Amino acid sequence: MLAEAFEFPEINAILRWQDIFTSFNKIALIAVAAALIGIVVFLLAGNKDGSKAPKGVRNLAESIVEFIENGIVMQTMGKSGLGWTPFLLSLFVFIYLCNVPGIIPLLQMPATARMAIPMFLALLVWVVYNGVGFKHQGIKYLTHTIWPPGVPVALKPLVGVIEFISNIIVRPFSLTVRLFANMLAGHILLVTFALLTQALITAETMQFLLKPMAILPFGMLVFLTAFEVLVAFLQAYIFTILTAVYIGGAAHPEH
């Protein structure tokens, strides 16, 4: 029976990888490769003669920088936020390069589909925007965060608890889960349709009529692979633009 041929592996089999060496597995390899690729691309772009028209790697790097400046910084923080371009650029490129391996043969796993990297990035963002808030507003940042201007005195205890949980606890958690859950869900869907396609193609002789049906899960696999290309970009963009919003809000609460 097809049910016997189609055996979905245990969740650990598609999420955990054997160490390449002690405490270093494929997830760590993808993360290191993502960081190195980003560094190399921008180092190569920076070594080009600025008097010439951009092309090749430099053209790619400049396009990404312009996208971050015009599509994220200017839209959320304004001209005063351009100094944050390198940080937001690094964040976007690293997350995108960690997402993309989910559709690359042999790798077939986004590093962000494991909790550690999204959580680390979310905590880094949390430290940065809170640091910015205290730098620009001093201790008033904490009171403005817990009690937004205009809150009636009678409601301050309730609003204070809600705002504290929302801004201090839930915000980094939501950043983590949004990235992690979306990339994990895509990975599991790709694995499911790939295994179903394989099960139908390798069906026994008595089930040869099922072999043509493999085109259906295979078609979904192709569609989802193309869709994951878009998801990889969108998740990097959403994480980065939310970071810009949080930093901008901490530096300029009136905005």
Q: Are 99 and 236 in contact (CB under 8 A)?
A: yes
Specify the amino acid at residue 125. V
251 in Cβ contact with 78 (< 8 Å): no
CB 132 within 8 A of CB 250: yes
d(CA 98, CA 32): 9
Domain count, the chain: 1
C-beta separation of 15 from 114 below 8 A: yes
Q: Which letter does DSSP use for residue 47 in this model?
A: T
Alpha-carbon Rg for the chain, nearest whole angstrom, is 23
Tell me which residues of the chain have a pLDDT lower than 50. Answer: 1, 206, 255
pLDDT in tens, 221-235: 889 889 999 999 999
**CB atoms near residue 126 (< 10 Å):** 20
pLDDT at 126: 94
Q: Which residues contact 169 (CB under 8 A, 6 or more apart)?
A: none
- pTM of the predicted protein model: 0.85
Tokens of 3: 């049910």
Structure tokens at 13: 């089999």
Q: Containing domain of residue 227, as a range?
A: 2-251
